[in-house]
Amino acid sequence: MNTHAHYDHFFGNAVFADDGVTEFWAHANCAAAIERDADNQRRFVATNEPEMAAGEGDAVDIVVPNALVHDQPVLVDLGGVTATLFYLGRAHTDGDLLVGTSSTLFVGDLVEQGAHPSFEDSYPEEWADALRHISALRHRYEFLVPGHGKPASDEFVKTMADTMSTAVRQATQSIRDMPSDATKAIPVLPYGPEQSRWFIKRLQETNAQGRTSLATPDFGPEKTGFYPS
């Protein structure tokens, strides 16, 4: 299952395919992005994985997910463990898929511990909403596993959401005050210079596109017992 279409989260698919895995899950937008853009992302691994970068060697094929999730959650039986794959709307990318088990929520790069969030393909305003949504699910899961770093607390997720909302307000104000040079806001934002630059760029681009309404997953009746209360 691929949480989103960034190379460090799906370049390993070919290894599983070589081992006989045939079912690769992802959100439909993620699969479309992998199909469209994966070869272009090979350059990011030129130093660490030259074979993958060149597309020559073992397990270097791009495997596009073939089992797709859209707005509705999907239950996958892993044999004694049921995983729920679900989408909370656009955030880190337009195709972030989360995985919940009876104990653990895997959130991909919606949450990053130990580094600034990556905004290159993001929808900053909607991302802050998605983080609040994750926090609202805190009683269902004992553990939250981010896309990078150590397991995170609900406090961490809430802080990340608040920081992002504050950054949205600050950057929106700067864009309004200095439309010709919104990059003046970079030193004010709570992220590194590079990520702040992306943050402002994506905020401008996504505001121009307009928002989509956040998908509200239907988890079904509680009595199914998939979640501890």
CB 92 within 8 A of CB 122: yes
Minimum CB–partner distance for residue 88 and Zn ion (Å):
15
Closest to Zn ion by CB, 3 or 84? 3
Task: Report DSSP state, residue 112.
Answer: B
Which 101-140 residues touch Zn ion, going by CB under 5 A? Answer: 109
Of 1-9, 154-162, 190-198, 211-219, the segment contacting Zn ion by CB under 5 A is: 1-9
- Coil, strand or helix at 27: strand
Task: Single out the residue of 88, 79, 85 nearest to residue 101, CA to CA.
Answer: 85
Task: Number of residues interacting with Zn ion: please give it, by CB under 5 A.
Answer: 2
Closest to Zn ion by CB, 61 or 120? 120
Closest to Zn ion by CB, 16 or 44? 44
Minimum CB–partner distance for residue 102 and Zn ion (Å):
26
Q: Give the chain's end-to-end CA distance (angstroms, integer).
A: 26
Minimum CB–partner distance for residue 204 and Zn ion (Å):
20
Minimum CB–partner distance for residue 9 and Zn ion (Å):
6
Task: Single out the residue of 117, 64, 56 nearest to residue 91, CA to CA.
Answer: 117
Tell me: does residue 6 bind Zn ion (CB under 5 A). yes
The one-letter amino acid at 142: E
Minimum CB–partner distance for residue 189 and Zn ion (Å):
19
The partner residues of 74 in beta bridges, in order of sequence, read: 85
Structure tokens belonging to residue 148: 């990078």
Closest to Zn ion by CB, 9 or 133? 9
CA 157 vs CA 38, 113, 119: distances in Å:
29, 10, 16
Tell me: does residue 202 bind Zn ion (CB under 5 A). no
Give the residues lining the site for Zn ion (CB under 5 A).
6, 109
